[in-house]
């Protein structure tokens, strides 16, 4: 896996440890966000799109296991969670895994191992992406790079298809502009007009096929797929 493609949320209240992790991952050209509290972690994880959340168990406001459960229940995608803690007893690890953690790393740890574990979790998550994604009358076949609205094939660019897969994977939640741009272009995205142009072209293709107003603009956030039959039940 290309390391530059990973997006990581670092949840750590100890400023020195947090800075060491963020600096190391930034050095790999990964995209990193930092949260020092459980509340901020939940807010970021439910608004943004991350490949892996690095979650410290000892947070000042909310227990790390509760944060893990909240993220797993509310995040718009099945984000992988790697717990970081000084607790090494079996009971502590069991509690973390039962709370929804995908992996567990005991402090102190080698930052190189941390990166390898993140890559492994991201690969595992990609392998579990559905072969077919359906939102209303829209059908996406990621492995075949095909998109259909009803029975009509959509003529999409490679970038347009990726945007549609990202929006469909996040459905029924919105996906922020920043998350979309990072997924598409990594750490060096073009100006925001590029994303707007691709969204315009996607809307045109969907409109021609009968999927009118299927991509909604969410003010001050980003975009959301709409499935009229399902969204108004």
Q: What is the mean pLDDT of the chain?
A: 85
Give the per-residue pLDDT at 228: 65
Q: What is the largest CA-CA distance in the chain?
A: 59
Confidence of residue 232 (pLDDT cuts 50, 70, 90): very low
Flag whether pLDDT at 167 surpasses 80: yes
* Nearest alpha carbon to residue 83 among 55, 64, 53: 55
The more confidently predicted of residues 193 and 22 is 22
Confidence of residue 126 (pLDDT cuts 50, 70, 90): low
Confidence of residue 137 (pLDDT cuts 50, 70, 90): very high
* Nearest alpha carbon to residue 127 among 150, 116, 143, 139: 143
Write b or e for each residue in 132-151: b if 16 or more Cβ atoms lie within 10 A of its Cβ, otherwise e: ebebbbbbbebeeeebebee
Give the per-residue pLDDT at 204: 93
Give the per-residue pLDDT at 158: 85
Domain ranges of the chain: 3-127, 133-231
Say which CATH class 3-127 falls into: alpha beta
Task: Give me the phi and psi of 196, to 5 degrees please.
Answer: -60, -40
Q: State the burial class of residue 54 (Cβ atoms within 10 Å of its Cβ: 0-12, 13-18, 19+).
A: buried
Say which CATH class 133-231 falls into: mainly alpha
Q: State the average pLDDT over residues 153-175.
A: 87
Does residue 228 contact residue 136 with C-beta atoms inside 8 Å?
yes
Flag whether pLDDT at 82 surpasses 90: yes
Confidence of residue 97 (pLDDT cuts 50, 70, 90): confident
The answer, as to whether pTM is greater than 0.85, is no
Strand order in the sheet with 7-11: 31-35, 7-11, 52-56, 80-85, 103-106
* Nearest alpha carbon to residue 178 among 166, 164, 192, 162: 192
Give the lowest-confidence range in 96-100, 122-126, 149-153, 160-164.
122-126
pLDDT in tens, 7-17: 999 999 999 99
Confidence of residue 1 (pLDDT cuts 50, 70, 90): very low
Beta bridge partners of 156: none
pLDDT in tens, 21-79: 999 999 999 999 999 999 999 999 988 888 899 999 889 999 999 999 888 877 756 68
Q: Check if 3-127 and 133-231 are the same fold.
A: no
Give the per-residue pLDDT at 3: 46
């Amino acid at each position: 896996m290309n390391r530059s493609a990973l997006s990581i949320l670092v949840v750590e209240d100890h400023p020195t440890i947090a800075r060491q992790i963020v600096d190391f991952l930034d050095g790999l050209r990964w995209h990193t966000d930092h949260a020092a509290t459980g509340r901020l972690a939940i807010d970021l994880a439910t608004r943004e799109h991350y490949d892996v959340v690095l979650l410290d168990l000892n947070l000042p406001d909310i227990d790390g296991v509760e944060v893990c459960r909240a993220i797993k229940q509310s995040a718009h995608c099945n984000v992988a969670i790697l717990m970081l803690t000084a607790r090494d007893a079996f009971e502590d690890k069991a509690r973390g895994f039962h709370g929804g953690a995908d992996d567990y790393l005991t402090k102190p740890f080698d930052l190189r191992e941390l990166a390898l574990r993140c890559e492994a979790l991201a690969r595992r998550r990609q392998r579990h992406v559905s072969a077919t994604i359906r939102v209303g009358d829209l059908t996406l076949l990621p492995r075949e790079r095909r998109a259909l609205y009803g029975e009509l094939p959509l003529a999409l660019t490679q970038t347009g298809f990726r945007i549609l897969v990202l929006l469909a994977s996040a459905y029924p939640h919105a996906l922020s502009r920043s998350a979309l741009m990072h997924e598409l272009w990594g750490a060096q995205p073009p100006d925001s007009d590029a994303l707007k142009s691709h969204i315009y072209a996607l809307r045109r293709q969907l409109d021609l096929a009968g999927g009118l107003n299927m991509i909604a603009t969410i003010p001050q956030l980003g975009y959301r797929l709409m499935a009229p039959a399902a969204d108004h039940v």
